Chain A
Amino acid sequence: MSVCALLGTAVLCAVAALVLRESKSGLAAVAALFAGALLLGAAGERYAPVVRELLSLASGSSFSSYAGVFLRALGVALLAELAASVCRDLGETSLAAKAELIGKAEILLLSLPLARELIAAVSELMI
């Protein structure tokens, strides 16, 4: 889909969610969730060449093993943000906070090997 089509879809979904909310139907949240997932997927497809380029630049260097970690952390952060936003839109702020907590924990877990490698490298410099 082209950029105009994607942006138009976002606006249409927002209008649809507003209309559904006015009619006090529970489908408003579903529509917002569906639109959010669709737009996120489209954005991911758009940025795939950037990700591929990053991986090709990192290949062959010492960072190649961690490029995947970084990109995975990026994906987790985006998904956590999406989940938290949807929960807030539905009025469930506590669930939104818990979704963020899960996202933070997963990112920190993914960062552990990087931190370990970095501490070893800095310790080598200090000897």
Chain B
Amino acid sequence: MKKAGTVFFVVLLFFLSAGFARAQEYEYRYSPEEEGENDRITEYASAFRETLPEELSEESRELAEAALEGKSELSFSLLLRKSFFAITREATAPLRLLSLLLALLIVLSLFRSLGKSAEGNAGVAASFRLCSVLALSSCVLGTARHTVAAVRDILSSFNSFLFAMFPVLTSLYASGGKVGEAVAAHSALYLLTSFISDFCVRFILPAGGILTALALAGAVLPFDLSGFSRWIKRLFSLSLALASAALSAVLAFQTHISAARDGLALRAVRFAAGSFIPVVGASLGEAFRTVAGSLSFLKTTIGWASVAVVLGLLLPVLLSLLLFRFSLGAASACAKAIGCQKESGLMEEISDVFGLYAGVVTAAGSVFIVAITLLVQSGGGE
């Protein structure tokens, strides 16, 4: 009886002490300032900005940083404003070149009109024509030298990025046990790398030098070399267009990137590409669906910062090439109008060389975007 009473008393004591224990509602209010979250985001954004490649323009850096900090959406007005700034910055050199070429052509035509009235001084006129052709060509190649070097640099950068992706991509797949997919991804990446390094850099780029040399020789020498120039240009343009079309077909079959829906915006981009980007614009029209799908995938997984970085690498060079092409075309038309036929042909042929470079950069850029998407996909981004 005494033992039962003791047990009852102990159990009662436990029950009574349990009355003080209860669940408490904890109110937590998220305060970024208290947590230092804003400072951390700013620190990440500035660290990210430092890792951006040097070739990226200032506008692209700002866009990427803003996208990372979540400060702004990539609205149409923001994109239009940044595009306008980029165009005005890139248009300075081509417009300056155009005005310089027009001034040289005016001086040349004045001398021509003086030379026509005198007899027997074809020797002096021919020498001065040689000097003027050399001056025009030096003007064009000297002004556009940085742009041509930028084409080589950007292809070299793409090449380096793609080579760096090889071990990462295959390791990611293999570590997940997907050996077959690792092999497939490796072969796809090898194809893309070969397209840029072996085809674009070693085969198509030297064609620009050959065509320029032929154009100069044709302008200086008394015989017409335009037939050779046209044949070589057709050969290289056809090679690039065929390679781009074949690559587009292979990518469509091999990759898991779903193509973007064929909406109005995409059709507008394909029309613009076919009109303004020479050689490969039309054949890459179908590939733009894959490229648009890739950009959409990158935006979904990484965010707008990735799209801003990729496009910021590619678009300034492409824009500069197209603007130089338009300037040389305008100068060629003016030269023809004032009777400088040889000089007009020279500038038209150099304009075609810039068009070829624009086609190469577009094709390589499309390949690069698809390769980046493959890498992100392999990391489990889908």
Write the residues of chain A forming the contact surface with B, with a CB cutoff of 8 angstroms: 47, 50-51, 53-54, 57-58, 61-63, 66, 69-70, 73-74, 77-78, 80-81, 84-85, 88, 93, 96-97, 100-101, 103-104, 107-108, 110-111, 114-115, 117-118, 121-127
Contact = CB atoms under 8 A, between A and B. Distances in A.
Contacts of B111: 74, 77-78
Nearest to A102: B124
A123 B216 CA distance: 13
A93 B125 CA distance: 17
Given A115-B134, A125-B208, A57 B127 contact: no
B118 interface: yes
B33 to A, nearest CB: 49
12 contacts: A54-B100, A57-B96, A58-B100, A61-B100, A62-B142, A84-B118, A84-B124, A85-B118, A96-B120, A100-B121, A103-B127, A121-B142
Interface in B128-182: 128, 130-132, 134-135, 137-139, 141-143, 145, 148
A93 B121 CA distance: 11
Given A61-B142, A118-B141, A104 B124 contact: yes
Contact of A125 (B107, B126, B209): B209
Contact of B103 (A50, A69, A125, A127): A50
Interface residues of A: mostly helix, strand, loop or mixed? helix
Closest 5 CB pairs of A and B: A126-B209, A125-B209, A62-B142, A114-B134, A107-B127
Contacts of A69: 131, 135
B123 A118 contact: no
A57 B100 CA distance: 6
A101 B126 CA distance: 12
B206 interface: yes
